[in-house]
């Protein structure tokens, strides 16, 4: 659908699309799921956290304006539901109700543990080094739900400046995607802790822990594996510009140039996979303390700006095609990012009645807090000797860019500058 024209014949093309979720056949009967009240409470608590998430770049459809009128639903797959149960183990000292662990969880843990064990419980008095349980699929998983908004456009000018821009294509997409009830996996120890750290023991985690009253209430078994636990969110802008034109020199037989720049501006990358934290935040009666908990958890769950997820990533390319010869240059820019997680790089404190996030002054070497920007460049060429024979070569990592401290891949590999030559063909 053509909505507007620009210049002589430039057009901005937008398409509106909607997607809906399909109903999923209920899984076969299995162990009793958590109550709907428990699930609803957890989902409500998660919504009190800051925006969260991740994104699959494929969800951004270039050249289209798309809004989801209804949530997109992903039903658990066969493996997540019904993968075989295999043996799993946790250390006996992982029992959250052990006297050495009872004060290491939420404020709910000491009271909730009294439902299962006596005061001063020592798990080592009843069991050996390990507790055996199972890990595998979970037939009680519910569907993941995704709310997304994507808007984008394609600009192709025609007839502007005497046709000088006829080879230009500009693409931009904005996306905002949130996934709730994302399927993840928890260990037996994490499930045991979640059971007693939530405000009530009437939850899906306690249903997965077995305790033996004949051994003082010690854990005697558990079921771990897949569970609906995560909330994910990402926002950003994908962009690309391509320009193809004849060589501006010679008599028209000097080939064509192809220029390209494409990248991503990440605005938000957040994930929260601990429902205990969500409910702990929701249950905090002191507004200032609640704000502190939210800010502290944000530094843990905020993935934006750490190694691998910088705010900017841009790829560049220039190709000159003349006859059977192709010469190319590529570059990759990566914005400076934290060498450490946000949690390690920051401290969250209350100062003068307000929550403050500040740099962690206890880092061994604050000068190494960030990676600095990275820019790797490659040169290459190819020549068609025959229709089915090609000679090629080039230089990878032209400027001998070193990888970031602690990384073997970003923005370049540790191999350094690399020269190559080769010949290929089919006979």
H or E element, residue 287: helix 287-301
Q: Is 367 helix (H, G, I), strand (E, B) or coil?
A: helix
- Relative to beta strand 256-272, strand 72-74 is unpaired
pTM over 0.85: no
Mean pLDDT, contiguous 10-residue spans, the chain (427 residues): 33 32 39 54 49 35 40 80 90 91 90 95 77 89 86 90 87 91 85 90 90 91 84 89 88 87 91 70 76 73 80 96 95 88 78 82 71 93 92 95 81 90 90
What is residue 311's predicted lDDT score, i.e. its pLDDT? 92
What is residue 5's predicted lDDT score, i.e. its pLDDT? 32
What is residue 56's predicted lDDT score, i.e. its pLDDT? 34
What is residue 71's predicted lDDT score, i.e. its pLDDT? 61
HEC per residue, the chain: CEEEEECCCEEEECCEECCCCCCCCCCCCCCCCCCHHHHHHHHHHHCCCCCCECCCHHHCCCCCEEECCCCEEECCCHHHHHCCCEEEEEEHHHCCCCCCCCCCCCCCHHHHHCCCCCCCCCHHHCCCCEEEEEEECCCCCCCEEEEEEEEEEEEECCCHHHHCCCCEEEEEEEEEEEEEEEEEEECHHHHHHHHHHCCCCCCCCHHHEEEEHHHCCEEEEEEEEEEEEEEEEEEEEEEEEEEEEECCCCCCCCCEEEEEEEEEEEEEEEEECCHHHHHHHHHCCCHHHHHHHHHHHHHHHECCCECCECCEEEEEEEEEEECCEEEEEEEEEECCCECCCHHHHEEEEEECCEEEEEECCCCCCHHHCECCCEEEEEEEEEEEEECCEEEEEEEECCCCCCCCCCCCCCCCCCCCCEEEEEEEECC
Radius of gyration of the chain (CA): 28
Query: What is the distance between the alpha carbons of residues 123 and 121, in angstroms, rounded to a whole number?
Result: 6
What is residue 364's predicted lDDT score, i.e. its pLDDT? 59
């Amino acid at each position: 659908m053509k909505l507007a024209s620009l210049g002589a014949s430039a057009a901005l093309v937008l398409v509106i699309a909607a997607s809906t979720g399909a109903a999923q056949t209920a899984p076969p009967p299995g162990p009793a799921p958590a109550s709907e009240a428990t699930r609803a409470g957890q989902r409500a608590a998660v919504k009190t956290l800051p925006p969260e998430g991740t994104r699959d770049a494929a969800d951004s459809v270039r050249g289209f304006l798309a809004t989801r009128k209804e949530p997109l639903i992903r039903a658990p797959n066969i493996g997540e539901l019904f993968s075989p149960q295999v043996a799993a183990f946790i250390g006996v000292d992982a029992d959250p109700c052990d006297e050495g662990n009872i004060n290491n969880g939420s404020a709910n843990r000491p009271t909730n543990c009294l439902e299962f064990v006596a005061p001063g419980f020592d798990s080592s008095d009843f069991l050996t080094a390990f507790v055996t349980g199972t890990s595998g699929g979970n037939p009680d998983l519910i569907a993941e739900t995704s709310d997304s908004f994507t808007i984008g456009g394609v600009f192709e000018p025609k007839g502007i400046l005497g046709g000088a821009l006829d080879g230009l294509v500009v693409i931009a997409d904005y996306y905002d995607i949130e996934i709730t009830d994302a399927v993840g996996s928890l260990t037996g120890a994490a499930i045991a802790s979640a059971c007693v750290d939530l405000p009530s023991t009437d939850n899906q985690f306690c249903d997965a822990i077995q305790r033996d009253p004949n051994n003082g209430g010690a854990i005697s078994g558990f079921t771990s594996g897949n569970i609906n636990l995560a909330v994910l969110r990402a926002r950003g802008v994908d962009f690309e510009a391509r320009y193809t034109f004849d060589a501006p020199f010679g008599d028209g037989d000097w080939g064509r140039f192809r220029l390209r720049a494409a990248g991503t501006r990440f605005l938000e990358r957040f994930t929260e996979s601990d429902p205990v934290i969500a409910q702990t935040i929701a249950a905090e009666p002191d507004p200032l303390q609640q704000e502190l908990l939210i800010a502290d958890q944000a530094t843990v769950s905020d993935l934006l700006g750490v190694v691998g997820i910088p705010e900017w990533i841009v790829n560049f390319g220039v190709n000159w095609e003349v006859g059977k010869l192709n010469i190319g240059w590529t570059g990759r820019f990566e914005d400076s990012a934290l060498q450490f997680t946000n949690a390690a790089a920051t401290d969250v404190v209350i100062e003068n009645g307000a929550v403050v996030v500040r740099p962690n002054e206890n880092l061994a070497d604050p000068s190494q807090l960030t990676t600095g920007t990275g820019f790797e460049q490659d040169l290459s060429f190819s020549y068609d000797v025959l229709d089915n024979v090609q000679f090629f070569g080039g230089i990878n990592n032209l400027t001998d860019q070193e990888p970031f401290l602690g990384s073997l891949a970003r923005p370049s590999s540790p191999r350094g500058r690399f020269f190559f030559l080769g010949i290929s063909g089919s006979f």
